[in-house]
Each structure stands twice: as structure tokens, then as C-alpha cells.
Amino acid sequence: MESQIIEALTGIVGDKGILTGTDVTQRLEGWIGAPQCSAKAIVRPANTEELSAVMALCHHYDQRVTTHGGMTGLVGGAISSSEDIVVSLERMRTIVEVDAENRTLTAEAGVTLQAIQEAADSADLFYPVDLGARGSATIGGNISTNAGGNRVLRYGMTRESVLGLEAVLADGTVISSLSKVIKNNTGYDLRQLFIGSEGTLGIVTKAVLRLRAKPRGEATALVAVEDFNQLSKLLSLAESALSGSLSSFEVMWNDFYSLVTSFERHRAPLPSSSPFYVILETQGSSNESEQARLEALLGEALEQELISDAVLTQSVSEREKVWAIRDDVEALFSMVPIHGFDISLPIPAMQDYLEKLKHNLLKKWPDGRLVAFGHLGDGNLHVVIGQIPMEDKEALNEVVYRGLAQLGGSISAEHGIGLEKKAYLQHSRSEAELELMRILKQALDPKRLLNPGKIFD
Amino acid sequence: MESQIIEALTGIVGDKGILTGTDVTQRLEGWIGAPQCSAKAIVRPANTEELSAVMALCHHYDQRVTTHGGMTGLVGGAISSSEDIVVSLERMRTIVEVDAENRTLTAEAGVTLQAIQEAADSADLFYPVDLGARGSATIGGNISTNAGGNRVLRYGMTRESVLGLEAVLADGTVISSLSKVIKNNTGYDLRQLFIGSEGTLGIVTKAVLRLRAKPRGEATALVAVEDFNQLSKLLSLAESALSGSLSSFEVMWNDFYSLVTSFERHRAPLPSSSPFYVILETQGSSNESEQARLEALLGEALEQELISDAVLTQSVSEREKVWAIRDDVEALFSMVPIHGFDISLPIPAMQDYLEKLKHNLLKKWPDGRLVAFGHLGDGNLHVVIGQIPMEDKEALNEVVYRGLAQLGGSISAEHGIGLEKKAYLQHSRSEAELELMRILKQALDPKRLLNPGKIFD
């Protein structure tokens, strides 16, 4: 029967559209360093119609299907088994339209985030979602995982940038909701079923994205803060003073800042004696205007004693040096073996949570090290814990995720659940919520063929 | 059996929690002028637990339930029949918490929009959704209908302001997803099921709302535009030059502006000889800074010949006079009988659509009059058609909604579908989309007890 399915699939997508044998196993099932891909075949439809026929066929044969985007996810959401057919959207990478007047971009799911950013830029517009994997990550993957990134504070998650969506259901039905308008209250918002559901309810094939006006200038500052309570006051002041222009409010705890700036490649713009550091960035009318507004804000913050020190960058290279501190993931590898966590918490609960976490960590692993940084404005905390053996990962997960629920936190701010966080989902979601998720899954994919085993069982 | 249900319901909510007989019929089933309410009883639970028990009971007896919020909807979404039990959330009007540090507000569903705005304001914060019915409309109703309003361009619809939600399902199950964080990618986003689904999938009981920094100042201008194509160029320029501060971009077609300013209560700030007028509003750091930025923008727009004339308001009273033109619904009643439409369209399709609509209108009703205005930036067009007999409403609907789908438009930008637009839903949604909506309804409310007959059959 396996050869029968492969033959029928080949009939739909042609020889070019199907990979088997070593063409499958030479691919990885995730990010660099991941194990090799395992699947009956990788099917690469050329368009939505082909994918629809592929899915109808798989549905007929009760064939499980896992979808591949750019394979840059961090929670094992695209891992397949030898029983699966993998669908890759890699041949569907056409930017269908850039409508500059309506400020929308329509693209097939296999287009990379970077290609979308560039196409928007060419039309003198701006697609605001951005993340490190932009060159490989696809828009289909971004949508399926509701990707976040650095500008969520101002522009929202990917969910907020998707105006229209086309998806193929488990049985091959094509749901085309390619709306190009922001306001559209006509019955259930079907887009939401496919955004962030990690390919378990349907396969995203096309999207209409909302583009924004391109900022004409920016300004960046690094400030030191002496007390956690000042951080949210500073955030409020910045949002109010910079109004809609505040684009980043990145907090680095001292552990992080000290560690990173201890490397010679950085020259610390501020001494590493303060408990908190914040990168403030504003994007607005012009470099001059933003510089003036940020300078005024810093003056106000100093006067109100919300910050103890500040550097307002004066050039692109100074700005890049500040961001290089925040982005220096490499420095964290000095604490190997390291374990990264992407959680979110209401701001008032953050500091308490971190202190307790550190306490519990050191009690269990006296050599453990913890550094924290994050997009405070949207509650997202990145915690990297080092010097803990890889085999203790599960015990460590328990320590990190425990207690998050009762603080109103989430075990996954932006990375999703996939396989890796599945066992811990009940730390963030109640049994009633999980049951409703199962009802949705049952309604849309009763044979459980789509991305099997991901998010929940 | 009816008396049995009423008795059992009274056992749950107490005498104070139930209305029957003339206490039901003296209520209206909608906005002022609507017919009187019809129902077996109006049940007014005091809290979520009571509502859960009410729903479990109704589920047991296959009892249909229609939910009442502030009764300010415009599409008959809250109309009940004599076979229904009405659930009103009017006793659930507690603001549970204002968390100024985390900038969230948690409220029961029966709290009015205005009370939420005021509570945010008292904490020196800002809840951005605003609409005329703010004093009566409840947050539960706002959420169930995904209310829009005047600031969608900058802050999004109600959907974008809801961080967490609690709802009761048809069988009484309580789904509590009261997250207080912006980033939360932990499985399916269950909030979305209840936002904008008009009470057909569950009853919203509580919400966590995202608050924003309060703008410190604003500036408003009225400009004249000679060519439709200039409008979207002006919008792009405004978004780019004012960056994130642009809060309104309200377009009035000449028909609208001429009609309204012909009344003596207005003194037209600009002569009524231009085809388009736009109200530009920016909310930002201070009155002075916003005035300066808006003035610079107007200079740039004049230079680029995007606008032909402009008035920058210099005082609160001047600003109010400009807005009074846009908000003068009363003036439209000079065209009675009038019919209002709330549609959306991609910007490039708007003018063509309106010209064709006017042509078709006058062909059929030579005395018909059409005025248009709207939030151009989010594709929302309000069309008011006058001097058409009420009995021609259905034929008029066909003329207005026909052709919207192929232009990528929507028959309801912000008002929803309810009963009134149900017959026209297929103008905006494909059969596959409608079928998926039915699958969702079947999964969550298989007995079809919740807000029966609304949106689709």
C-alpha cells in the first residue's frame, strides 16, 4: 500500500514534486544539528490545487501528514516519523501581489520572511514581524506558529499582521479567506483556527499580510535601572512620551549584561554594576526627531529617578554595538550545557518568579547559572540556564514551568508547544481548555492525520 | 415543562435573578424603537458559577438561550423568541482588577465600555476601543461582536485588546483563559472562538483587557483632497510622517460633507467644492509636539499636491467643530427614509464600487441619494442611502452587497451579521467557509441552543 500511495502522490505532483530514500534522510528534522528526517516521502506540491489533491488522497488512505516550512522552529513541531508523509511548501514561494495602495502583500506559504520584508521594502512599505531566522523561516511557518519577535510591543504578533488566509484541511477542502481588509466581521474568524495551531488543524497555503508605513528614522538608547519596580514605570513613561513610536523595550538582567560584556568583543557602554539594563528604541518621523524625543524622555526619566544612567547612541555603529550585546547568544555558550526557556509572565510577577526560580535551581544544582533577558513590554522573558547536565533537562523543565500557571504565566511566549513542551502544557492550560482543544481537533481532523502528536495527545 | 424550567432556574439565580411576564415585555429587543422583548424569562446570573449552572440546566432541557448585553447592536443579534430563555449579564458588572503595572484590566462581561474607559483613565491609562454607544454597550457585547470604532487604524479591533477571556459553553462548561500576557503561544487560541461569534459558540463572562499609555496631547486637521488616488498617498504619508501616532484618518465624500455643512449648526471650515475631505488626528507626546508634527505633515502634503486646502485646528472647540461634522448623524435624517450600510473594501476598489453603486441605485430609484464616509485606513466604508422606501430594503441590500465579494469586500466591517445580514452572508463568504463555520457550531453547540438562528442557519 505504501508504494500505491507514493505512486498516486507522484501522479498528482509529478516526479519533481516527490522525494524519497536518501533525498528524505539527508534533510534534517529541525534546526542545525537536528537528527535526520524520517518519512515515507517528502511531497512538494506546486500549488494549492495539488496540495488539496494530496490531502484528499492521504485522507482516503488514513495517511498521516507532517508539514515542513523553513525548519527553524525550536520545539520540534515539524518532526515526522517513518509512518508520515511530509508535505513541504518549498515550491510554493511566489509573492502573488504587493498592493501598495491598499498596503497588503499576498504570498504563498513557502516565501521566506526575509523575501516578504524585502518585497515590502521595495514598495516603500514595511512588514513589521522580524526574527533571527528570517532568511529560512517561511511565512507559512510564521503563521502556523504565530511568530513573535522584537517588535510585538508595537505591532503585535504575526496574528495581528494576517488579514487573509488560505488553508487546506485534512480532507483536502480548501478554505479561502483571502480578505484584504482590516475590518471584516462576517461570521466566525476562520483565520484564527490556523494561526498558531502548528499545522494540526490545516495547512496554510497563502496569506494576505498587512504592511505598514516605513519608519523614516530611529533612535536607540541604553539605560541602567536600579530597581525592578522602576522598569514598568519607565515603560509607561516611554509609551506615553514616545506615543506610538516606541518599538523596543528590551530588558537585560545584570547576570546577562555582566556575562555578555565580559567578552572582549564588547565595550560595555555602561558599567555593569546596575541590576537592570534597558534598550529603548523609537522609530518615527526622522532620525533627528526621534533622537530629540528620546533625549527628552531620558531627561524626564533621570529627573524622576527611574534610571540611574543612560547612553543615547549617536551613530549607526553605536546603535549596532548596543544591540550586539542583546543579540550575543554566543556568549551564553560559555555556560554549556545550556537550556533556553521562552516564557511569559505578567510584569508584576516577573522578579519574584525569577528569584524563586534561582533559589530552587541552586538548591538542586549548586553549579547552575541563570541569565534573563526579554521583551518586558509584552511579558516575554527569555531565561537561559547553564551548567546543568543535558540528562537533567526534564527535571529542569519542571522547576522552570512549575508555578508559572498560578502567576498567570505561560510556558511558551512565542515558540509554541510542538513536541518539546507537550508534557508541560497542563502548566499553562486547564483541563477544560485542553478538552476544548481536543473538540476542535476532532471537528477539523477526526482521523488525526495532521501533524500527529503535536501540542497535545 | 416550562414552569419546571423557570422553577429550576429560579432555584439557581434566586428571585432577584429572574424576570418574567411584563418584566420581559417592557424591555426592547434592540436599540431605541425596537419591538418589545419576547422570551420565557430573562435570567440574570450574579456570577459565572450561576451562569454555568443555568446553561447546564438549559442544556439538559434542550432549552434555547439568547444573550443580552447592552442591546446596542445594529444587526438584530440579540433578538429572542417566545421559545427562548434570555440570559442577561446585567448583574455581572464588577471591574475585578486594574493592574496598572501590567497595564491590564479584568472585568465581568456586564461592565459598560464607558466604565472600562473611566477605570483605565483613573489609573492614568487608556482603553482605546471607543464607539458612540459606550454608555450602554457592555464589554461582553463588544467582545462577542468584535467591536471596532474610530481608532482601529492605530489600535485594532476589540479582538486586539483582549488578552484573556472566560466563557461558558452551551453545556455549562466554564472555559477560563484569563491570561494577562500579550505573548502566549500555548496551543489553540481559544479566545478567538468567542470574539466576534455573536454569542453562538459560548457566552463571554469575563475578560482581561490590554490597556495602553494615555496620549498626552493631540492635534486635528481637516483637509480637502481633489482626487481619490491622492487619498491613499496621503494616508501613507501621514502614517510615515506621524509614525505610530496617527489615530484617525476619516474620509468624507463630497455628498456627505456638502449635506452636513448645509445645516446652519455647522460653519464649514473649508468650502464644499472638493470631492473629498479628510480629518487627520494624531495623539502623542504633547499638544505642542503633535501640532508641530501635523503642521509639518500638512506642509509636505501641500508641497506634494496631495491636498488642496487645509485647516489645522487651534483649540479644543475648533477640534470639536470639525468632529461634529463627521459625527452629525442627524443631518442624514433629512434624506428619510434612510438605510445605513457598514461595509469594507480594499482601498483601490472603493471609488469604483461607489460610482457603480450610485449608478445602479439611480437606475432603480431615481430619487435615491447616497452619501459616503468612513475610516479609510482600515477599509471601512459607511454608506447611507436615503429616499428609498422601507419596503425596498431587501432589493436595496442586493444592490449594495452584490459585487462586494469579487472586489474583496465585506458586507459587514464592524456591525456583525446577526439576523439582519444573514441572508447576504454568502456575498462575503464561500460555501467552504460557511461549511467550516457549521462544523465549528456543531462541535461546540451540537444542540444549537446558543443564540439560535443568528449568523447562519
| Pick from B153, B182, B379: CB nearest A379 | B182
Choose among B190, B241, B379: nearest Cβ to A183.
B379
Rounded to whole angstroms, the maximal C-alpha distance in chain B is 75
Residue with the bigger pLDDT between A149 and A433: it is: A433
Chain A residue numbers touching B450 (CB-CB < 8 A): none
Q: Could you tell me which of A277, A440, A263 has the C-alpha nearest to residue A373?
A: A277
Judge whether B375 is closer than 8 Å to chain A, CB to CB: yes
pLDDT in tens, B54-73: 999 999 999 999 999 999 99
Q: How far is A195 from chain B (nearest CA, A)?
A: 8
pLDDT > 70 fraction of chain A, expressed in percent and rounded: 100
Task: Report the pLDDT averaged over residues A370-376.
Answer: 93
Higher per-residue confidence, A405 vs A277: A277
Flag whether residue B292 sits within 8 Å of chain A, measured between CB atoms.
no
Q: Is the pLDDT of residue B123 over 90?
A: yes
Chain B within 8 Å of A1 (Cβ-Cβ)? no
Cross-chain residue pair B243–A244, CB shorter than 8 Å? yes
> Does B210 contact A at CB distance below 8 Å?
no
In this prediction, residue A436 has a pLDDT band, given cuts at 50, 70 and 90, of: very high
According to DSSP, the residues that pair with B206 across neighbouring strands are B108, B166
CA angle, residues B53, B54, B59, in degrees to nearest 5: 95
Average pLDDT over residues B119-136: 95
- Kindly identify which residue of chain A lies nearest to residue B192, measuring between CA atoms: A192
Measure CB to CB from residue A99 to each of B156, B160, B346 and give the nearest one.
Answer: B346
Check residue A150 and give its pLDDT.
79
Q: Which three cell numbers stand for residue A276?
A: 537592570
Render pLDDT for A311-340 as a digit per residue (tens, 0 to 9): 999 999 999 999 999 989 899 999 999 999
Q: In chain B, how many H helices and how many E strands?
A: 15, 18
Range list of β-strands (E), B109-183: 125-126, 162-168, 174-177
Mean pLDDT of A162-171: 98
What average pLDDT score do residues B314-339 get? Answer: 94
Between positions 148 and 167 of A, the ones with CB within 8 A of B are 148, 152-154, 156-157, 159-160
Question: How confident is residue B31, by pLDDT bands cut at 50, 70 and 90?
Answer: confident
CB B133 within 8 A of CB B160: no
pLDDT digit string, tens, across residues A278-308? 999 999 889 998 999 999 999 999 999 999 9
Q: Which of A372-376, B41-45, B449-453 has the lowest mean pLDDT?
A: A372-376
Chain B contacts of A146, Cβ < 8 Å?
185, 189
The minimum CA-CA distance between A258 and chain B, rounded to whole Å, is 27
Q: Quick one: what percent of chain A has pLDDT higher than 90?
A: 89
Spatial distance between the Cα atoms of A150 and A158, rounded to a whole number of angstroms: 12
- CB within 8 Å of chain A, chain B residues 410-439: 410-417, 421, 425, 428-430, 432-437, 439
* Residue from B162, B185, B293 whose CB has the most chain A CBs within 10 Å, to mutate: B185
A177 → closest Cβ in B157, B409, B433: B433
Half-sphere exposure of A325 (CA within 13 A, CB side): 31
Cell of B66: 439568547
Alpha carbons A81 and A17: distance in angstroms, whole number: 20
Confidence at residue B251, expressed as pLDDT on a 0 to 100 scale: 96
Rounded to the nearest angstrom, the minimum Cα separation between A22 and chain B is 33
Give me the residue label for grid cell 534534517.
A28
| Tens of pLDDT, residues B149-204 | 878 989 999 999 999 999 999 999 999 999 999 999 999 999 999 999 999 999 99
If you average pLDDT over residues A4-19, what whole number do you get? Answer: 97
- The CA distance from B6 to the nearest CA of chain A, in Å, is 28
pLDDT classification of A449: cutoffs 50, 70, 90: very high
Contacts of B442 in chain A (CB under 8 A): 443
Report the pLDDT averaged over residues A168-183.
95
Convert the pLDDT of each residue in A383-434 to its tens digit.
999 999 999 999 999 999 988 888 989 999 999 999 999 999 999 999 999 9
Report pLDDT for A29: 86
Question: Which one of A129, A154, A181 makes the best mutation probe of the B interface by having the most chain B beta carbons within 10 Å?
Answer: A181
Q: Do A179 and B245 touch (CB under 8 A)?
A: no
* B289 Rama sector, left if φ>0, alpha if ψ -120 to 50, beta otherwise: alpha
User: Partners of B176 in the beta sheet?
Assistant: B166
Partner residue facing A243 (CB), from B285, B435, B456: B285
What is the predicted pLDDT for the residue at A376? 87
Q: Report the mean per-residue pLDDT for chain B.
A: 95
Q: Taking a C-beta distance cutoff of 8 angstroms, is the pair B19, B44 a contact?
A: yes
Q: What is the pTM of this model?
A: 0.96
Residue A348 has pLDDT above 80, yes or no: yes
Average pLDDT over residues A11-19: 97
Segment A255-275 shows an average pLDDT of 95
Reported as a pLDDT band with limits 50, 70 and 90, residue B132 is: confident
Question: pLDDT at residue A377 above 90?
Answer: no
